[in-house]
Amino acid sequence: MSTIEPASSEPASSESTTRSLPCVHCGLATPCGEGTDPQTVFCCNGCLGAYQLIHGWGLDDFYALRDQVSSTAPDQVRSDVTRFNEFDREEFLGRSKPVDQPDGRKLSNLAIHGLHCGACAWLIENAAGRTPGWESARVKMSDHTVCVSYNPVEIPLSRIAALLSKLGYEVAPLTEVPDQHFWIENRRLLTNIAVAGFCAANAMWIAIGLYAGEAWGIAESHRIYLRAFGTVLGIVAVVFPGRTFFAGAMAAIRTRTPHMDLPVALGLSVGTLAGAVNAVTGRGEVYFDSLAVLVFLLLLGRWIQFRQQHRAAQSVDLLMRITPQHARRVNRDGTNDLVPWQRLTTDDQVLVLAGESIPVDGKVLSGDSMIDRSLLTGESRGVAVTEGDSVAAGTVNLMRPIEISVDAIGQETRIGKVMQSVEAAAITKTPIVQLADRIGGVFVVTVTLLALATFLFWSKESVSVAMGNATSLLIVACPCALALATPLAIAVAIGRSAKRRILVRDGQTLQHLSRGDTIWFDKTGTLTEGRMRAEFVHGNRDAFAVAASVEAHCVHPIAEAIVRAAKQQGLVIFDQAELCGIEVGGVVGRCDGRGVYIGSLGFLRSNDVTIDTAMLDAINRCLDHGTTPVVVAIDGQAEAVLTVTDNIKPDAIRTISELTKRGWQVGMLSGDHPAIVDRVAETLGISKENALGGLSPEDKLECIKKAQPGQVVMVGDGANDAAALAAADVGIAVRGGAEVSLQAAPVFISSGHLGSIVELIDGAKRTRWLIIATFAVSLGYNVVAVALAMTGYISPLVAAVLMPISSVSVLALTLLCPIFGKQSS
């Protein structure tokens, strides 16, 4: 496909012959060289962009219609594209600076103004799919932002911004004050409501005068004057504050995407046209009092929805729930002020008292303390920090006050970046969301056809009645709540789970968890404490010291237990020991020139280690007592047997029992000896058939695959069980840190409490029922409202009052529903 470029605006050289050809889009005479193809002449990039948009969407009939209406071109054309050129400058974009992706695409998050319902999001996302180079758009209704993914080689960000403007939505870079765009949009809506309210109030007073005149008599000149003045007020209300509905309708027509503004604009157009005709002819009703009040009530309902959505956005702001919203900024004179974290800069210093959460990423300037880093790293014990050490937002200062220099705030912090990946789940299009979108589109088309049928049916009685009933139908049948119900319920559920330290990365996870099937648990560190205790059982104690010397170079719960036990017994840790390798079932090392193998019986046998009868007896005694035997071999000969025990978590038995009651089939996958696994399973109430031991990571993965199809959940370590967690329909990580765990599993329980799994499953079920309930309410409301409008039981004014009720009902049900019990908020 050849590339079409706009004609150059530079003067032609004296050697070249020039001529003027009309711009393909606007018709403006454009200088170009001899031999130029007339079909490639564009006066500016604005006309080129408009032509590509119209041609790409198959709307070329526009040009035929234009030529029929007017045979002359406009005298001058203003290119709107140039005002969007700033979007290609990183300095202008600030926080909206595009982020490079591995495949060459770019992502940019922008604030977007003019959104009012799910249909708006739907329209923008459809436009992205129809535009070459614009890969996708994800609209987040809760905070009025859009994430655009595009190929910079094919389309610049400025052209996307221009296209969104044509659709009736203005985009702007994100600001340091997250609520700024909300207040701008709020002010715009209130201004429109004020103008509409002024027109409606005065139009109603004029209508009262006309009605009184009909009853008591009125001079014809006064009657004409009042009708004319009322007509002007009605037209002002429809054309100025009511233009937002027509902008949405035109955008729907351009993109061939059904939009709720389409029937509203059609209803206003029918009423305005009929009223204007009656005003000019002096016969019939002018309707402009009703139209002005109608616009006022529609805008008022839209504003109520807008405010409720902002409240919903605050309820799902995950970063707000994890980190403090204020910080003690240290002044130059040594005093400190409590300020919102948004006002901090990288030049500031903050004071964090004992027991407070750290609000920023930075370095300790003064003070010594201990911090709890469990949210980020999974460490259950406090970590000492002193001057020069780095600390992260979301961690907790445990002991003494510390001063911190600010390196990053908000979404630029480590936890902020994690929360961004989690918040993306709030706009994930799960199958039920896609179903709601499809129903919403069909509903808009159906309503428009039903309005036409209603007009034709009632026109036999009276054109005035027919028009009123059709207008009522177009106004009251708003599919906004249908599009709003599901994503809002998912967003609120994710936000409330985050408050309970349960991070959900994928919205579809809630759907899987709402239907009970099979759930597998890793044993060590998941069902058990993960803090092991080692004891010497049999053999040479010097071998115990050698084992501790090698294990000192390994980071693993069993290694830590062996080293800790050796130190407690006063054994010498040899400096010359080294760790040569970590394999499935054990480790290989060297100490003082001797080869050392430490691990399970199977591991030692696979390495041709000789094990005498006394050693085998000691191993069997460990297994009989339900503990894990660890064999130490030096130079190919088993020298000592150690035992490692790991206590079961206090809430493990209750969690397994609760899951079984809820219909889940519970199983256990472990790399530990099968006899140990059986003993733990018996304690927990898990059947032996579902307690599998001696498994490698590959074996665990195979077990997960065999259990599918069906809803399969895997609960384990975010790092050690990564393959099994990723292969399951839902992976739940209960150990490790948020950054690593959320890469392997869509759910991370930062508290490590198994009871949170039951909470999450119950919350998922309530979320599913909430979606069904809100979906039924919105769909049932629309069906009843349409029936009432078709049968003539509601007027356009009543329709305008009823229209926002469905959306407000959905918002109220969602925000008031106790998804995680009475304590959630």
Q: Residue type at 109?
A: N
Q: pLDDT tens digits for 48-82? A: 655 665 565 554 544 544 444 333 333 333 344 45
Per the listing, tokens 């702007």 go with: 172
The per-residue pLDDT for range 382-391, each reduced to its tens digit, is 677 889 999 9
Q: b vs e for 621-647, b when ≥16 Cβ sit within 10 Å of the residue's Cβ?
A: ebbeebbbbbbbbbeeebbbbbbbbbe
What is the per-residue pLDDT for 409? 87
Q: Does the pLDDT of residue 482 top 70, yes or no?
A: no
The per-residue pLDDT for 265 is 79
pLDDT value of position 653:
92
Structure-token match 């999974």, residue found: 378
In the chain, pLDDT over 70 holds for what percent of residues?
73
Looking at per-residue pLDDT, the higher value among 328 and 399 belongs to 328
Could you count the other beta carbons within 10 Å of the beta carbon of residue 428? 18
**Does the 506-528+649-750 domain belong in CATH 3.40.50.1000?**
yes
Same CATH fold, 533-645 and 81-176? no
Cα–Cα distance between 393 and 556 in angstroms, integer? Answer: 27
Q: How far apart are CA 571 and CA 546, in angstroms?
A: 9
The class of domain 81-176 in CATH terms is alpha beta
Angle between helices 431-458 and 755-790 (to 10 degrees): 10
- Average pLDDT rounded to a whole number, residues 783-794: 88
Q: Measured between alpha carbons, how far is 88 from 106 in angstroms, rounded to an integer?
A: 12
Burial of 575 (0-12, 13-18, 19+ CB in 10 A): exposed
Residue 640 CB contacts under 8 Å (≥ 6 apart), including other chains: 536, 537, 538, 539, 540, 541, 543, 544, 547, 631, 632
Phi first, then psi, for residue 667 (nearest 5°) are -135, 170
Identify the pLDDT of residue 520.
Answer: 92
Pairwise CA distance, residues 798 & 570, whole Å: 86
Strand-pair partners of 713: 519, 730
Give the single-character DSSP code of 748.
E
Of 678 and 671, the one with more pLDDT: 678
User: Catalytic: 522?
Assistant: yes
CB 645 within 8 A of CB 628: yes
Computed on alpha carbons and rounded to an integer, the radius of gyration of the chain in Å comes to 35
Q: How far apart are CA 311 and CA 824, in angstroms?
A: 15
The 3-state DSSP class for residue 24 equals coil
Q: Which fold has domain 533-645?
A: Calcium-transporting ATPase, cytoplasmic domain N (3.40.1110)
Phi and psi of 799, rounded to 5°?
-60, -40
For domain 324-412, say whether CATH 2.130.10.10 is its number.
no
Question: Considering the chain, what percentage of its residues have pLDDT values greater than 90?
Answer: 11
Q: What is the CB neighbour count within 10 angstroms for residue 678? A: 18
Chain centroid to Cα 139, Å, comes to: 9
Tokens of 175: 């600001």
SS3 track for 46-74: HHHHHHHHHHHCCCCHHHHHHHHHCCCCC
Instruction: Compute, in degrees rounded to 10, the torsion defined by CA atoms 251, 253, 258, 259.
Output: 30
Is residue 28 classed as helix, strand or coil in its secondary structure? Answer: coil
334 burial level (CB within 10 Å; 0-12, 13-18, 19+): exposed
Peptide bond into 709 cis (omega under 30): yes
Instruction: Render pLDDT for 647-665 as a digit per residue (tens, 0 to 9).
Output: 888 889 999 999 999 889 9
Task: Report the predicted TM-score, pTM, of the whole model to 2 decimal places.
Answer: 0.54
**Band of pLDDT at residue 9, cut at 50, 70 and 90:** very low
The span from the CA of 352 to the CA of 34, in Å, is: 74
| Strand runs labelled E in 523-616 | 533-539, 578-583, 586-591, 594-599
CA 176 from centre of chain = 20
How is residue 65 written in tokens? Answer: 């219609």
From the candidates 506, 522, 678, 721, give the one annotated as an active-site residue: 522
Question: What is residue 255's predicted lDDT score, i.e. its pLDDT?
Answer: 62
> Would you kindly state where each structural domain of the chain is located, as residue ranges?
1-79, 81-176, 183-307, 316-323+418-501+757-825, 324-412, 506-528+649-750, 533-645
Place 490 in a pLDDT band, splitting at 50, 70 and 90. confident
Specify the pLDDT at position 69.
35
- Taking the C-alpha atoms of residue 595 and residue 571, their distance in angstroms, rounded to an integer, is 20
How many Å apart are CA 179 and CA 192, to the nearest integer?
A: 20
**Which pLDDT tens digit goes with each residue over 708-755?**
667 789 998 755 566 677 778 888 988 655 555 566 678 888 777 899
